[in-house]
């Protein structure tokens, strides 16, 4: 089955700096890669996703890149703000709407 590894497990950045989280996956058949933000005790919220036919996608301060050959994808958050502090999860699946395999999560702390 699919295995998703995520690094780093914790990330502390100064407000205004960039944050980068990296994930690798094992199943070459995976084609859909969402990123979620989760606050304590809350449901995961989809912040951005990318499909395998695209190498990069951007939405305001958030961007995701995908290298399907190397089986890795990354989340980039620019101009970080304190409200970006949360746990971020990457995930992979064979198609959107299919079962997701999550990475281990990254706890991001943005210091004002």
Partner 1 sequence: GAVVSQHPSWVICKSGTSVKIECRSLDFQATTMFWYRQFPKQSLMLMATSNEGSKATYEQGVEKDKFLINHASLTLSTLTVTSAHPEDSSFYICSARVRLDEKLFFGSGTQLSVL
Q: Which of 12, 81, 95, 111 binds partner 1 (CB under 8 A)?
A: 95
Asked if 8 interacts with partner 1 (CB under 8 A), we say: no
Stretch that binds partner 1, among 13-21, 58-66, 75-83, 99-107 (CB under 8 A): 99-107
Q: Rounded distance, CA 30 to CA 101, Å?
A: 10
Phi-psi region of 79 (alpha: psi -120 to 50; beta: other; left: phi over 0): left
Q: Comparing C-alpha atoms, which of 75, 80, 84, 70 is closest to residue 56?
A: 75
Interface with partner 1, residue 30, by CB under 8 A: no
Query: What part of residues 37-56 is at the interface with partner 1 (CB under 8 A)?
Result: 41-44, 46, 49
Backbone angles phi, psi at 54, to 5 degrees: -125, 140
Binding site for partner 1 (CB under 8 A): 1, 34, 41-44, 46, 49, 89, 95-105
């Amino acid at each position: 089955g699919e295995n998703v590894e995520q690094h780093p497990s914790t990330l502390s950045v100064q407000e205004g700096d960039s944050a980068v989280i990296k994930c690798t996956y094992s199943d070459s058949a995976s084609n859909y890669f969402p990123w979620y933000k989760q606050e304590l005790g809350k449901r995961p919220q989809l912040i951005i996703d990318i499909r395998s036919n695209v190498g990069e996608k951007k939405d305001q301060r958030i961007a995701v890149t995908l290298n399907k050959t190397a089986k890795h994808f990354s989340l980039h958050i620019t101009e970080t703000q304190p409200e970006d502090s949360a746990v971020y999860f990457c995930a992979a699946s064979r198609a959107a709407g299919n079962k997701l395999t999550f990475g281990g999560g990254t706890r991001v702390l943005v210091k004002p």
